[in-house]
Chain A
């Protein structure tokens, strides 16, 4: 599979999913189970991505400058900082720790 194929296939699936909502009878959403699974699916995927993106390096689990950066991000989120501030602060923390040689 080329990167372009992957980009296009993933895009098409996402567009189909968006369209699907307009084709499904509204009463489906009244059933609690599918609605609940859809909500929790989003949570599980994002949480797993946080973990892998923080600790993963290929197939290795490493603790490096990303962990303190993510902890700073979590602190800012507790203070209700906007998305962009959180992301930039995390990048800054990791970049400075690496620049100063305090973390890998």
Chain B
């Protein structure tokens, strides 16, 4: 459309560079708290390698924290509940994949690789860009940058947690609770998610004494199904999209 193709090329390159810079910034910030995941993983009873494998293969922070949290509360007996919690938290990545699919384009290997890097941050940085080129650059730079940083810092955190000893003396149990709260916080902007969050917290607390560890969290998720299905307390336009800046501010892989 532009009368000056050179200007247009430069413009596109500039947007791509801006997307790359943004991606690297988000990657550095996110990678830093891979240390907290590594330390918490070891504190909850996983060994160093299991903690690292979660970052290498699962590579989706919310699910990783959930898995470690449930194992920490219930031990190996809670493994099925830990798997279920991690999986349910991973469901939102399906929505991210659907949104990223047209950005990534065609090709089996390209799409297979993109799937593993599809997380809160890479999706958010990518969709915040305006040109298709910048969206592609933003996705890959953020995704790959976090993958490298997150895995390195997980290893560092796991080694550190292993040396520290009693996790309670360092407040690591409280750190896990705070980590979940920080992940939850940016999603609480509307009446409906706030109501769901409070109800789920109450249900999980009340069920804790009567069910085995891990199960209260899963049953509390039913609150989301009921409210989401009926759209109780929902906005009139019927949608409650995730806030776009979740990941940039304090998201998780």
Secondary structure type dominating chain A contacts: helix
The answer for the CA separation of A28 and B169 in the assembled complex, in Å, is 48
B7 at the interface (CB under 8 A from A): no
The answer for the CA separation of A1 and B60 in the assembled complex, in Å, is 23
Q: A10 to B172, Cβ gap below 8 A?
A: no
Assuming the contacts A13-B87, A45-B220, asked whether A60 and B33 have C-beta atoms less than 8 A apart, the reply is no
Contacts of A8 in B (CB 8 A): 53, 57
Total interface residues in chain A, CB < 8 Å: 77
Contacts of B88 in A (CB 8 A): 41, 45
Assuming the contacts A49-B66, A66-B173, asked whether A41 and B50 have C-beta atoms less than 8 A apart, the reply is no
Assuming the contacts A6-B82, A50-B201, asked whether A98 and B220 have C-beta atoms less than 8 A apart, the reply is no
Total interface residues in chain B, CB < 8 Å: 110
Assuming the contacts A20-B94, A29-B95, A51-B201, asked whether A15 and B115 have C-beta atoms less than 8 A apart, the reply is yes
A-B residue pair count with CB separations less than 8 angstroms? 341
Give residues of chain A (1-53) contacting chain B, Cβ–Cβ below 8 Å: 1-15, 17-22, 24, 26, 28-29, 32-33, 35-53
Smallest distance from the beta carbon of B219 to chain A beta carbons, Å?
8
The answer for the CA separation of A95 and B169 in the assembled complex, in Å, is 5
Q: A10 to B92, Cβ gap below 8 A?
A: no
Smallest distance from the beta carbon of B20 to chain A beta carbons, Å?
22
Which of B8-16, B129-137, B144-152, B178-186 forms part of the interface with chain A?
A: B178-186
Q: B177 to A69, Cβ gap below 8 A?
A: yes
Assuming the contacts A1-B80, A36-B228, A36-B234, asked whether A77 and B185 have C-beta atoms less than 8 A apart, the reply is yes
Q: A69 to B192, Cβ gap below 8 A?
A: no
Q: A24 to B58, Cβ gap below 8 A?
A: no
Q: A95 to B170, Cβ gap below 8 A?
A: yes
Assuming the contacts A7-B46, A32-B239, A83-B182, asked whether A46 and B175 have C-beta atoms less than 8 A apart, the reply is no
Given A22-B97, A84-B36, A93-B174, 4 more contacts at CB 8 Å?
A15-B115, A32-B231, A39-B193, A40-B196
Residue pairs across A and B with Cβ atoms less than 8 A apart, 10 shown, are: A1-B80, A3-B76, A7-B67, A13-B90, A19-B97, A41-B92, A47-B184, A54-B174, A84-B36, A96-B171
Q: Please list the residues of chain A having a beta carbon within 8 angstroms of any beta carbon in chain B.
A: 1-15, 17-22, 24, 26, 28-29, 32-33, 35-56, 58-61, 65-66, 69-70, 73-74, 77, 80, 82-84, 86-96, 98-99
